[in-house]
């Protein structure tokens, strides 16, 4: 990371839901902090980022990314993953603990922070494991994880199969003020399932994962959140039943939040008829009814934010027979275009609502006080978007090491134009102009 | 053989009455060449060779009092052009009902053209048994042989151009007895 | 002197010519295409009754049987079929999952294609394996069974056997009994039979014959009497004992008590009903020995017809460029 930069972002349209701003304004960042937002800023000797024709929003945050380092660097590492994030318009990402070794000691967090400092293109926030090795048998040293920089704890990848242990862990985590990010999956019910259990799994002869496998854990976790008063954030929510459970719990004031992926908002299990392994992930793509309820949940606030669950896998791990293929797809470099095309242009969300889902809410959930807004004093993280840009998704150009995406060739309207991290331009699809006296 | 080109003209060269006479004359020739008709056996090549063989058997019966048995042979599985044709041939039945060994067989077909169908028929017959002798009787010989195959009994010699098509219609299959020549619309040079 | 036969009535010719390079399943194959295969199989059945059981149709072509799951029956059937078409046959029994062996499926097939093969017959434990394969290879592919998904040649020989017994498909009642959910045979049969107008009844406990299958045009019941009542065809699927371990059944004993086909229960079916089974039989489980050996049982005909049907499929696919 390049340290703190000074930059003026000129001639764009600033959209900041946190401040209720939506105007032609310029943004001045000095040494990594937002200092002023006003019209006609042109300080001498300051690098200019030309934002004409773009919407200037708080730096987007993806709170669910698998960077694969340490341990799985053939799929991705901190350098390639953060470059992918920057290309995708994200100024900050939170990385999940299912690395090797698992992020269950402060040493691993120190490693990630050092690597992010050395080669990371965007801000990296580690998420600690809730149990050592993610085995779900004991509580991890959450105190030292948080002290070292973890912004949350999670069981992503495995879920928590022992309710007693989870309850104790949530009781314990309560004192640190970090949320528990829940991978809701009853692995006895999901067993060896490889896609959603329903009409299509029956047609294709593939073992299915019933919606109940997720919903039972969502309900359990909502009850535990209520019992322990520890905030529970449902990762990659995928079923209508899960949405209803979260909605009901929220209405009663339970500290529960939820995120949804762009692919669950866009695709259904019907796509799997070709056995394309780029459509295989957990939780699986569900039915059209589920997809519509996810959209309703986004609209009525039941679902707080959008997160990609960016899960890179190497070619040899995906280009095999369907039941053998690894679960997961990448998402950093398609999320913004999909969100703009499928949500804003299709009138599911307004652009301010989308920014709320992709910047304001993730900052709030992770307790990133200086992010998610462009108010002076906030960190100088800014994303430039062009909602009208027409693109064709080309995975060959991705910065990610992996190519496991089903969106190759998709024609979408809307794209990130530039990403600014702490006042430095981490990604710019156009050229920048420097003004010097 | 596929369908004739849609922009072709056609002319009937042999009508029902002529066809009946020609078939009877062919039957006479067969009897002439087989002094021991009891060892005769006819093999009709699917599709139209079969009814022609059946009629010929009846004709032979009326001439010499002995009706030879008639076998049906589908040569699809013995063709040399599978995989290169545009349309897939429909497979019909193969059934002999008599032992081929030591028989004097006469293959009966409607049109003799390149000779490949007859070559395939010979291969098939050899797989079924060991006849004493095989002869070939065709209603129409239109020339353009590609293999050293020659007919022993010919109903009618019809020299044709390569691009033309000769169709035999038989009442049992097509509802009418006739032989029709199809010329392509731009009838001109020889292929 | 044998009397010549009268010209027989023209059979209703299927309106289709075969144009597919692969046979991966029957779900997207039309009723006309199915009829074409059955018609072609009829001619091939006759070849197997000759003294020289061979025709040169596939002479010089190389057919590879790539079997990742153990199977004597289907593999032998395909071998005999290919040999009777004069093809050169390679049978490869690849053990276990390709991942365990270290060589991927794609690499295995690319190696075979380097020998310039013409047709690949594959059986694999993973549903969708042939669909995955055709994206990565150039050979014509026949699915000899992929996981729980489809087993098209089995269903085709089943249909051939049913029609051989003079039963028209339209309006026929076929009862398929057993472990439907894990059965590729059941799926292919359901897809093919419903296309031809058959009334298919699937029967088993709800764990093995869930109502979801009704979306494919079949009826599901957990009462054997309902399935057998007036049935023209009683099709018994092989019960696999692992199902008890995975908690799909309490015990094989209870399954046999509730769903085993006995001579007594067969009285509910039509008097001329036939009994079928994809093999190998578990005598005393799916059906009693009495039923398996009865005059109604066409199990051995199924095996004979398997060769004719597979000859037809190999022949039709080889004819496509």
**Average pLDDT in chain C:** 91
Residue of A206, A321, A322 best to disrupt the C interface, most CBs of C under 10 A: A321
Pick the residue from chain A with its C-alpha nearest to C210: A202
Q: State the pLDDT confidence band at C104, using cuts at 50, 70 and 90.
A: confident
Mean pLDDT of A309-315: 97
Secondary-structure percent of chain B, ordered helix, strand, coil, rounded to 5: 30, 30, 40
Listed by number, the residues of chain B in 115-154 with a beta carbon closer than 8 Å to a beta carbon of chain C are 123-124, 127-129
Residues of chain B neighbouring C40 (CB-CB closer than 8 A)? 91
Mean pLDDT of A390-397: 97
Instruction: Work out the minimum CA distance from A411 to partner chain C, whole angstroms.
Output: 23
Beta carbons of C43 and B58 less than 8 Å apart? no
Report the C-alpha gap between C157 and C40 in whole angstroms: 12
Question: C197 and chain B: CB distance < 8 Å anywhere?
Answer: no
* Global confidence as pTM: 0.86
Question: Of the candidates A377, A387, A336, A376, which has an alpha carbon nearest to the alpha carbon of residue A357?
Answer: A336
Question: C318 and chain B: CB distance < 8 Å anywhere?
Answer: yes
Nearest to C127 among A199, A320, A322 (CB): A322
Compute and round to an integer the Cα radius of gyration of chain A: 21
What is the 3-class SS of chain C, one letter each residue? CCCCCCCCCCCCCCCCCCCCCCECCCCCCCHHHHHHHHHHHHHHHHHCCCCCCCCHHHCCCEEEEEECCCCHHHHHHHHHHHHHCCCEEEEEECCCCHHHHCCCHHHHHHHHHCCCCCEEEEEECCCCHHHHHHCCCCCEEEEEEECCCECHHHHHHHHHHHHHCCCCCCCCEEEEECCCCCCHHHHHHHHHHHHCCCEEEEECCCCCCCHHHHHHCCEEECCHHHHHCCCCEEEECCCCCHHHHCCCCCCHHHHHHHHCECHHHHCCCCCCCEEECCCCCCECCCECHHHHCCCCECHHHHHHHHHHHHHHHHHHHHCCC
Beta carbons of A205 and C187 less than 8 Å apart? yes
Residues of chain C neighbouring A198 (CB-CB closer than 8 A)? 212
pLDDT the model gives residue C95? 66
Q: How many CB atoms lie within 10 A of CB C194?
A: 17
Instruction: Work out the minimum CA distance from A204 to partner chain C, whole angstroms.
Output: 6
Question: A315 and chain C: CB distance < 8 Å anywhere?
Answer: no
Residues of chain C neighbouring B69 (CB-CB closer than 8 A)? 1-2, 4
Question: B47 and chain C: CB distance < 8 Å anywhere?
Answer: no
- A·C CB contacts under 8 A: 64
Beta carbons of A324 and C124 less than 8 Å apart? no
Instruction: Work out the minimum CA distance from C108 to partner chain A, whole angstroms.
Output: 12
pLDDT above 70: percentage of residues in chain A: 98
Torsion-angle region of C215 (φ positive above 0: left; ψ -120 to 50: alpha; else: beta) = alpha
Question: B97 and chain C: CB distance < 8 Å anywhere?
Answer: yes
Instruction: Work out the minimum CA distance from B189 to partner chain C, whole angstroms.
Output: 31
Over residues B136-151, the pLDDT tens digits come to: 999 999 999 999 999 9
* Exposure string over C304-315, b if 16+ CB within 10 A, otherwise e: bbbbbbbbbbbb
3+ Cβ–Cβ pairs closer than 8 Å linking B and A: no
- Return the axis-axis angle of helices C72-84 and C152-164, rounded to nearest 10°: 70
Tokens 């049935």 belong to residue: C231
Mean pLDDT of A396-424: 97
Residue of C26, C128, C208 best to disrupt the A interface, most CBs of A under 10 A: C128
Over residues A149-203, the pLDDT tens digits come to: 999 999 999 999 999 999 999 999 999 999 999 999 999 999 999 999 999 999 9
- Return the axis-axis angle of helices C184-195 and C152-164, rounded to nearest 10°: 50
Say yes or no to pLDDT of A319 above 60: yes
Q: State the pLDDT confidence band at B185, using cuts at 50, 70 and 90.
A: confident
- B·C CB contacts under 8 A: 73
Say yes or no to pLDDT of C12 above 70: no
Higher pLDDT among residues A433 and A113, named by residue: A113
Instruction: Work out the minimum CA distance from A323 to partner chain C, whole angstroms.
Output: 6
Report the C-alpha gap between A63 and A93 in whole angstroms: 5
Extract the tokens encoding C267. Answer: 């009285």
Chains that touch B (3 or more CB pairs under 8 A): C
Instruction: Work out the minimum CA distance from B47 to partner chain C, whole angstroms.
Output: 11
Pick the residue from chain A with its C-alpha nearest to C145: A205
Higher pLDDT among residues A267 and C2, named by residue: A267
Question: C13 and chain B: CB distance < 8 Å anywhere?
Answer: yes
Q: State the pLDDT confidence band at B16, using cuts at 50, 70 and 90.
A: very high
Residues 6+ apart with CB under 8 A from C309: C37, C38, C41, C44, C153, C156, C157, C160
Report the C-alpha gap between A114 and A112 in whole angstroms: 5
Mean pLDDT of C169-194: 97
- Return the axis-axis angle of helices A211-228 and A163-173, rounded to nearest 10°: 40
Residues of chain A neighbouring C181 (CB-CB closer than 8 A)? 202
Question: B175 and chain C: CB distance < 8 Å anywhere?
Answer: no
Listed by number, the residues of chain C in 36-95 with a beta carbon closer than 8 Å to a beta carbon of chain B are 39-40, 42-43, 46-47, 50-52, 54-57, 85
Handedness of CA A94, A3, A355, A285 (dihedral sign): negative
Residues of chain A neighbouring C216 (CB-CB closer than 8 A)? 202-203
Beta carbons of C46 and B94 less than 8 Å apart? yes
Residue A253 to residues A104, A215, A228, A249: CA-CA distances in angstroms?
31, 19, 13, 7
pLDDT the model gives residue A333? 98
Q: State the pLDDT confidence band at C103, using cuts at 50, 70 and 90.
A: confident
Residue C145 to residues C75, C94, C155, C230, C249: CA-CA distances in angstroms?
11, 14, 11, 31, 24
ipTM score for this prediction: 0.85
Q: Give me the half-sphere count of Cα atoms (radius 13 Å) on the Cβ side of residue C301.
A: 18
Beta carbons of A321 and C129 less than 8 Å apart? yes
Beta carbons of B87 and C39 less than 8 Å apart? no
Report the C-alpha gap between C66 and A328 in whole angstroms: 30
pLDDT the model gives residue C13? 54
Mean pLDDT of C2-21: 60
Say yes or no to pLDDT of A435 above 60: no
Report the C-alpha gap between A338 and C261 in whole angstroms: 55
pLDDT the model gives residue C101? 58
pLDDT the model gives residue A436? 37
**Are the C-beta atoms of residues C282 and C49 closer than 8 Å to each other?**
no
Report the C-alpha gap between A101 and A110 in whole angstroms: 13
Pick the residue from chain C with its C-alpha nearest to A274: C131
pLDDT the model gives residue C100? 52
Compute and round to an integer the Cα radius of gyration of chain B: 17
Report the C-alpha gap between C185 and C150 in whole angstroms: 6
**Are the C-beta atoms of residues B46 and B92 closer than 8 Å to each other?**
yes
Q: Which helix (H) or strand (E) holds A247?
A: helix A240-251
Report the C-alpha gap between A401 and A77 in whole angstroms: 8
Say yes or no to pLDDT of C3 above 50: no
Q: How many CB atoms lie within 10 A of CB B53?
A: 27
Beta carbons of A206 and C136 less than 8 Å apart? no
**Average pLDDT in chain A:** 96
Question: A205 and chain C: CB distance < 8 Å anywhere?
Answer: yes
Pick the residue from chain C with its C-alpha nearest to A276: C132
Beta carbons of C43 and B74 less than 8 Å apart? yes
Say yes or no to pLDDT of C49 above 90: no
Question: C215 and chain A: CB distance < 8 Å anywhere?
Answer: yes
Catalytically active residues of A, by annotation: 309
Say yes or no to pLDDT of C73 above 60: yes
Does residue A273 sit in helix, strand or coil?
Answer: helix
pLDDT the model gives residue A431? 62
Chain-centroid distance of CA C292 in Å reads 19
Burial of B3 (0-12, 13-18, 19+ CB in 10 A): exposed
Pick the residue from chain B with its C-alpha nearest to C6: B54
Say yes or no to pLDDT of A433 above 70: no
Residues 6+ apart with CB under 8 A from C183: C148, C237
Over residues A91-141, the pLDDT tens digits come to: 999 999 999 999 999 999 999 999 999 999 999 999 999 999 999 999 999
Nearest to A324 among C99, C136, C210 (CB): C99
Nearest to C127 among A198, A206, A274 (CB): A206
Q: State the pLDDT confidence band at B6, using cuts at 50, 70 and 90.
A: low
DSSP A283: S
Q: Which helix (H) or strand (E) holds A421?
A: strand A411-421
Pick the residue from chain A with its C-alpha nearest to C184: A205
């Amino acid at each position: 990371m390049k340290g703190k930069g000074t930059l003026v972002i000129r001639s764009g349209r600033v959209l900041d839901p946190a401040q209720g701003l939506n105007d032609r304004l310029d943004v001045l960042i000095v040494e990594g902090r937002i200092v002023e937002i006003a019209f006609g800023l042109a300080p001498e000797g300051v690098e200019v980022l030309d934002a004409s024709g773009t919407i200037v929003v708080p730096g987007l945050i993806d709170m669910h990314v698998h960077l694969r380092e340490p341990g799985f660097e053939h799929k991705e590492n901190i350098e390639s993953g953060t470059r992918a994030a920057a290309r995708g318009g994200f100024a900050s990402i939170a990385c999940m603990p299912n690395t090797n070794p698992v992020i269950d000691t402060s040493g691993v967090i120190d490693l990630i922070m050092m690597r992010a400092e050395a080669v990371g293109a965007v801000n990296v926030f580690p998420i600690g494991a809730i149990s050592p090795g993610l085995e779900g048998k004991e509580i991890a040293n959450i105190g030292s994880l948080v002290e070292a920089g973890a912004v949350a704890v999670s069981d992503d990848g495995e879920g928590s199969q022992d309710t007693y242990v989870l309850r104790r862990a949530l009781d314990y985590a309560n004192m640190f003020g970090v949320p528990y990010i829940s991978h809701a999956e009853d692995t006895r019910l999901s067993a060896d399932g490889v896609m959603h259990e329903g009409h299509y799994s029956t047609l294709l002869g593939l073992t299915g994962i019933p919606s109940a496998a997720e919903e039972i854990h969502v309900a359990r976790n909502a009850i535990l959140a209520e019992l322990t008063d520890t905030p529970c954030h449902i990762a990659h929510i995928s079923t209508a039943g899960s949405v209803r459970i979260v909605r009901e719990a929220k209405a009663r004031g339970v500290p529960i939040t939820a995120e949804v992926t762009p692919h669950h908002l866009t695709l259904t299990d019907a796509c799997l008829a070709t056995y394309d392994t780029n459509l295989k992930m957990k939780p699986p793509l569900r039915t059209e009814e589920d997809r519509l309820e996810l959209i309703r949940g986004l609209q009525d606030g039941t679902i707080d934010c959008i997160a990609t669950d960016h899960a890179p896998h190497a070619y040899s791990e995906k280009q095999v027979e369907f039941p053998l293929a690894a679960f997961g797809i990448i998402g950093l470099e398609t999320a913004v275009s999909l969100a703009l095309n499928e949500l804003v242009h299709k009138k599911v969300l307004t652009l301010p609502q989308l920014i709320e889902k992709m910047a304001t809410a993730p900052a709030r959930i992770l307790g990133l006080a200086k992010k998610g807004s462009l108010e002076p004093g906030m960190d100088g993280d800014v994303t430039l978007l062009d909602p009208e840009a027409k693109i064709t998704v080309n995975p060959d150009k991705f910065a990610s090491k992996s190519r496991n995406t089903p969106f190759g060739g998709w024609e979408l309207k809307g794209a990130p134009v530039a990403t600014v991290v702490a006042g430095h331009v981490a990604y710019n699809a156009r050229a920048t102009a420097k003004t010097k006296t | 053989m596929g369908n004739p080109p849609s922009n072709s003209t056609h002319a009937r060269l042999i009508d029902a009455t002529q066809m009946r006479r020609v078939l009877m004359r062919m039957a006479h020739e067969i009897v002439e060449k087989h002094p021991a008709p009891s060892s005769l056996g006819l093999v009709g090549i699917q599709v139209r060779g079969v009814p022609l063989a059946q009629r010929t058997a009846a004709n032979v019966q009326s001439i010499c009092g002995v009706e030879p048995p008639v076998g049906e042979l589908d040569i699809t599985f013995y063709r040399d052009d599978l995989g290169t044709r545009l349309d897939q041939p429909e497979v019909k039945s193969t059934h002999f009902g008599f032992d081929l060994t030591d028989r004097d067989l006469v293959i009966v077909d409607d049109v003799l053209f390149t000779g490949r169908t007859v070559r395939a028929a010979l291969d098939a017959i050899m797989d079924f048994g060991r006849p004493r002798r095989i002869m070939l009787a065709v209603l129409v010989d239109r020339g353009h042989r590609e293999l050293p195959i020659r007919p022993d009994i010919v109903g009618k010699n019809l020299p044709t151009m390569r691009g033309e098509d000769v169709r035999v219609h038989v009442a049992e299959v097509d509802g009418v007895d006739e032989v029709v020549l199809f010329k392509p619309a731009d009838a001109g040079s020889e292929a | 002197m044998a009397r010549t036969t009268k010209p027989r009535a023209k059979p209703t010719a299927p309106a289709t010519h075969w144009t597919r390079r692969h046979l991966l399943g029957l779900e997207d194959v039309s009723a006309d295409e199915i009829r074409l295969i059955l018609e072609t199989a009829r001619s091939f059945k006759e070849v197997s009754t000759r003294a020289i059981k061979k025709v040169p149709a596939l002479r010089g072509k190389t057919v590879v049987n790539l079997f990742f799951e153990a199977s004597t029956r289907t593999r032998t059937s395909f071998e005999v079929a290919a040999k009777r078409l004069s093809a050169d046959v390679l049978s490869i029994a690849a053990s276990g999952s390709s991942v365990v062996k270290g060589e991927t499926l794609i690499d295995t097939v690319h190696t075979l294609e380097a020998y310039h093969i013409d047709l690949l017959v594959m059986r694999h434990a993973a549903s969708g394996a042939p669909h995955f394969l055709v994206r990565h290879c150039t050979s014509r592919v026949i699915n000899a069974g992929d996981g729980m998904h489809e087993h098209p040649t089995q269903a085709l020989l089943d249909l051939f056997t049913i029609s051989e017994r003079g039963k028209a498909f339209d309006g026929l009642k076929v009862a398929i009994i057993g472990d439907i959910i894990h059965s590729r045979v059941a799926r292919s049969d359901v897809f093919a039979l419903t296309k031809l107008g058959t009334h298919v009844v699937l029967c088993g406990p709800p764990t093995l014959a869930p109502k979801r299958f009704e979306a494919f045009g079949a009826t599901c019941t957990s009462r054997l009497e309902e399935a057998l009542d007036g049935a023209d065809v009683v099709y018994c699927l092989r019960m696999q004992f692992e199902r008890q371990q995975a908690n799909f059944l309490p015990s094989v004993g209870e399954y046999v008590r509730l769903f085993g086909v006995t001579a007594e229960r067969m009285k509910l079916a039509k008097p001329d009903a036939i009994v079928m089974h994809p093999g190998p039989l578990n005598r005393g489980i799916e059906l009693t020995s009495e039923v398996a050996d009865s005059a109604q049982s066409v199990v051995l005909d199924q095996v004979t017809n398997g060769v004719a049907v597979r000859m037809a499929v190999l022949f039709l696919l080889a004819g496509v460029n």
